[in-house]
Amino acid sequence: MKPLLQKVALVTGAGHPKGIGRAIALKLAEQGATVVVTDLAQASEDMSGAVSQLKGQGVEAMAVAVDVTQKTQIESCVQQVLNRFGQIDILVNNAGVGVGSSDFTELSDQDWELSFKVNVKGVADFSQAVIPVMQAQGGGSIINISSLLGLGAVEAIPACYTATKFAVIGLTKQLAVNYAKQNIRCNAVCPGSIVTQMHSTTLELIAEEHGISLEEAQALEDANIPMGYSAEPSVIGDAVAYLASPAARYMTGVSLPVAGGMSPGI
């Protein structure tokens, strides 16, 4: 029995073939969910590929172009999903950016503004658009993709990224408290070192910070992971699928590290 049969899941930032969002969408489909993928309009080809993959798993799927910094696009997306499927049971706020210098004094206003608009306000606006739908349905599950850097700081990471990922944890906990009695659960997943397109950017920052090659940067990162390696995006998909399922029905307000034993902060 697939635990997410007859559920509709919406996953933001799910276009890139090697991204966490795509892996999450595929895992939810594997569990039986109908899946809606969103990403920026320029990723339309990637989103089409995602829909093909999802349909190949025997589920219904659709793609909607959405810039999460534009509230009208979010509201339009939610309405399109309701028009087609009539419900939204699972929202995965995965869209995120990592920009800026590891030197705090070099961060620009644009770095801070983009980080906040995507990593925090985008999560808040999508949740605000979907919560009334879940209230009318009698419940739902919101899963926010934060980061291990939402729990603690790591050297050579832009402060605007760390700060906004901490904010995602705070938002998650507040929504969990606010809507628990209405059967709307809100949890966060905090990925550690995951091999994605953003991971390549992180390695470049580490290499620049220490004056080493990308290969040496990867070895340095792996040396700080108790399990000794960076994981594939599918491990985040597994965690999200669990939190979205009935097996996690008594879990809300959780910030779940999926990080091979890395544990900065508390």
pLDDT in tens, 42-78: 999 999 999 999 999 999 999 999 999 999 999 999 9
Q: How many beta carbons lie within 10 A of that of residue 259, not counting itself?
A: 22
Q: How many beta carbons lie within 10 A of that of residue 233, not counting itself?
A: 23
Asked if residue 226 is part of any domain, the answer here is: no
Which helix (H) or strand (E) segment holds residue 227: the answer is: none
Asked if residue 173 is part of any domain, the answer here is: yes
pLDDT for the residue numbered 260: 95
pLDDT for the residue numbered 266: 56
CA distance to 3, 36, 38, 204, per residue, from 92 (Å): 17, 10, 10, 28
- pLDDT category at 13 given cuts 50, 70, 90 is very high
Contact criterion met (CB below 8 Å) for 69 and 116: no
pLDDT for the residue numbered 42: 95
Nearest in space to 186 (alpha carbons), one of 143, 139, 242: 143
Tokens 């869209």 — which residue? 95
Give the integer Cα–Cα distance in Å for 39 and 135.
25
Asked if residue 3 is part of any domain, the answer here is: no
- pLDDT category at 221 given cuts 50, 70, 90 is confident
Asked if residue 46 is part of any domain, the answer here is: yes
Asked if residue 224 is part of any domain, the answer here is: no
Nearest in space to 11 (alpha carbons), one of 43, 45, 37: 37
- Mean pLDDT in residue range 9-29: 97
Question: Who's near 45: CB < 8 A, 6+ residues apart?
Answer: none
Asked if residue 72 is part of any domain, the answer here is: yes
pLDDT in tens, 71-117: 999 999 999 999 999 999 999 999 999 999 989 999 999 999 999 99
**Any bridge partners for residue 39, and if so which?**
65
Tokens 């999200």 — which residue? 240
Structural domain that includes position 169: 8-194+232-258
Strands 90-93 and 61-65: unpaired
**Against a cut of 0.85, is the pTM above it?**
yes
Lowest mean pLDDT among 187-191, 210-214, 232-236: 210-214
Asked if residue 179 is part of any domain, the answer here is: yes
Asked if residue 227 is part of any domain, the answer here is: no
Question: Who's near 9: CB < 8 A, 6+ residues apart?
Answer: 25, 28, 33, 34, 35, 36, 88, 89, 90, 91, 92, 244
Indicate the number of domains in the chain. Answer: 1
Q: Which residue has the higher pLDDT, 218 or 175?
A: 175
What's the CATH number where 144 sits?
3.40.50.720
pLDDT in tens, 145-161: 999 999 999 887 899 99
Phi/psi at 184 (5° precision): -110, 110
198: left (phi over 0), alpha (psi -120 to 50) or beta: alpha
Per DSSP, helices labelled H in the chain are 20-30, 44-56, 71-85, 109-116, 122-137, 159-179, 197-210, 214-223, 234-244
- Mean pLDDT in residue range 23-35: 98
- Mean pLDDT in residue range 123-135: 98
Give the integer Cα–Cα distance in Å for 134 and 245.
15
> Is 161 considered catalytic here?
yes
